[in-house]
Amino acid sequence: MSVSVMDSGPVEDVEASEENREAAEGDAGRQNGHSDGVTSSMAIQENGTEDASLGLKRAAADGDTDIDQQTNEPASKRRKTGPPQPKNPISTLNELRPGLVYKTLTVEGPSHAPVFTVTVELNGQIFQGTGRSKKQAKHSAAEATLRSFLQFRNASDAAQALGLNSSGVQDFTSDVSEETIPAAAGSRPVPVAEASSPTPASTPSASASPGPSQTSKNPIMLLNELRQGVEYQLKQESGEPHAKTFTFQVTVDGQVFEGTGNSKKLAKAAAARQALSKLYGVIASTPSAVLHHMPISTMPNLHMPQTLADNIAKMVCDKFLELTSGNPTLAKRKVLAGIVMTNEENLEDMKVISVATGTKCINGEHLSLKGQCINDCHAEVVARRCLVHFLFSQLEKLADTTENGVPEDSIFESLEETKGYRVKSQYKFHLYINTAPCGDARIFAPHEEEADQTDRHPNRQSRGLLRTKIESGEGTIPIKAGADNIQTWDGVLQGERLRTMSCSDKIARWNIVGLQGALAAHFLDPVYLESIVIGSLFSASHMYRAVCGRIEQTIQGLPPPYRLNQPRMNQGSSTESRQPQKAPTISVNWDCEESQLEVLNAMTGRQEGENSSRLCKRKFLTRFMSLIERLPSMTEVDPGAAKHLSYGEVKALSNKYQTSKRAMISGFARAGLGQWIGKPMEEDSFYI
């Protein structure tokens, strides 16, 4: 005998509440009994004449519930001992995509041995399972759905199957809990005849696509639930006994995923995050990655692929370890930064341009009137100066071959309508910092959820303000509104604290005037960051506000091609725990045009022995004077006249750059965020 419901179409299981409860609880052993036990319990409630103990005895006699004779308590209620059992497929699928509906498609076979067929729809694809009971059929359907996740070659395909649009707009500021997985969007009905195989889903609408799935669940636990039995192997252990760094690998389906951290637990979690991102399209956020509120209308498409972010972070960290291996003094650092260049025409062509460390600024008494010191030795600032060094080297190589035009292997191309050059569109620059930059991007409590309404009291306003670094110390302080913020040479020498703009503020400036600086701007269009990757203390909303969002409504009058750049951003899977220790006073730097590290004393801004850095203002001006005689400049500066100009005067001739810088300063002031503070004017008055 066969019973079928195909004529009437798919029907929902009448026991929907029981199914939802099974998916939530996930462990068959926790259910209250089989159908007979449930029937007995219902009969007891209807008659109202039999007491609870009699009902329990009857249930025990039917074999549905194991009763403890002493406690008169079902065994399922007692605390279980032994290792925790893995969750069943229904529970695992429900954690990834809650709210899925299981439908009973057919019931076939004789009444004493029926065969159930159950289907579940996920983003337009229908998966089915069969079994001797509805529960077995549901388990089979859930297993088929989970197995389909691993049939995709890349994370974007898996994300599409999950109903997650990895390329859509990502709202980092949603107040929804991090455990929430977006619901499916854009699914379509599929005929029963197609249920035997997965059917491609229709394209979800852009407005309904919430972006990659995020969860704060422990990534090691989640990966183990999805792929039981994965093993982690310790690949490397480095560093001093009190500050070790561990590297672990995990292999899933022949793919190796690697993570690093200050502890074995952090390293394993980093490896698991990479596997979850690549195989399932799930971003396992760190516990401290709290999402804070910001209007969605102000958020562009910021999210970058997790795999790319992890590759950038790994390349910078690996290069630093390679450069400092065998020298624990140089390897000791608090903040590490670097810049990576990618080629969109060849995704395997990724190159580390610069690496730097440092957390200190120059002592005021060591300022130089000859441009021979580095004022700010914070890692991200030095890494940017290394990029400028790289750009000058590329311009010099270009000058060597100008007779035959721009060579094919150059990263530059000539401008069509004017003199000068620009970086070819396929080359992108990515900044990695192992922690949030000092200043506005780091002014939040990482373990606290913020209220929807920010405190708007003027005396308590702190978010978005321009801030300055503390001389001979760490951290920043906000700039006082209305105060005299002009620094003088004699005042600093007499003891006035030297103030330097925070790294958050400087990155915001680079997103307007470019990374290349005023000198290189004589030859180049602005060079902007494609993305920023943060290792720890990452809050997307705070980071966005700090590097571009706080002045997007007030910036005006930028001359093309200058613009307000909005870089993509993400957090690397490998994070570092907080290390309360004194920061070293040295800053090391390297770029791909050099073979060895340069070591600077951050307090003097020079190399040991009072030698000036290759990154100092004087060295850059010397290289500019050489290039102005060999390459055409878009500012058409006369090479003969340039030799008689000071460093500050040459920078002032870069008209569009200076106009953009003034627009930036006005934008901050118009937004009520403070006045930009520069160094004493005498510092830029030197000649070659």
CB 1 within 8 A of CB 110: yes
Parallel, antiparallel, or unpaired: how do β-strands 568-571 and 529-534 relate? Answer: parallel
Indicate if 12 belongs to the active site.
Answer: no
Between CA 521 and CA 648 the distance in angstroms is 14
Task: Write down the catalytic residue from 380, 530, 576, 683.
Answer: 380
**Dihedral sign, CA of 167, 169, 175, 180?**
negative
Distance CA 629, CA 638 (A): 9
Measured CA distances, 507 to 323, 347, 567 (Å): 26, 26, 10
- d(Cα 276, Cα 298) in Å, to the nearest integer? 29
Neighbouring-strand partners of residue 356: 337, 589
Residues 351, 340 contacting (CB under 8 angstroms):
yes
**Nearest alpha carbon to residue 589 among 327, 338, 244, 256:** 338
Judge contact between 355 and 319, C-beta under 8 A: yes
Structure tokens at 635: 């500012």
Tokens of 651: 């920078």
Asked whether the beta carbons of 291 and 177 are under 8 A apart, the reply is no
* Residue 191 DSSP code: -
Which run of H or of E encompasses 128? Answer: strand 125-131
* CB contact at 8 A, 352 and 326: no
Give the C-alpha separation, 78 to 59, whole Å: 17
Do residues 462 and 478 make contact, with C-beta atoms less than 8 angstroms apart?
Answer: yes
Residue with tokens 């100066």: 385
Helix (H) or strand (E) holding 304: none
- DSSP state, 132? S
SS (H, E, C) 531-579: EEEECCCCCHHHHHHHHCHHHCCCCCCCCCCCCCCCCEEEECCCCCCCC
Burial class (CB in 10 A: 0-12, 13-18, 19+), 20: middle
Asked if residue 205 lies in contact with residue 312, where contact means CB atoms within 8 angstroms, the answer is no
In angstroms, the CA 436 to CA 445 distance is 13
User: Do residues 688 and 621 make contact, with C-beta atoms less than 8 angstroms apart?
Assistant: yes
Contacts of 222 (CB under 8 A, 6+ apart): 95, 215, 272, 276, 282, 284
User: Which helix or strand (DSSP H or E) is residue 307 part of?
Assistant: helix 306-324
Other beta carbons within 10 Å of 169: 16
Listed in sequence order, the residues at least 6 apart from 140 whose beta carbon sits closer than 8 Å to its beta carbon are 118, 128, 129, 130, 131
Of the candidates 440, 281, 366, 396, the residue with the CA atom closest to the CA atom of residue 616: 366
Assess contact for 508 and 548: CB atoms under 8 A. yes
Give how far Cα 206 sits from Cα of 163, 169, 341, 566, Å.
12, 8, 30, 20
Q: Which residues of 244-255 are buried (b: 16+ CB within 10 A; e: fewer)?
A: ebbbbbbebeee
User: How many CB atoms neighbour CB 177 within 10 A?
Assistant: 11
Active site members: 380
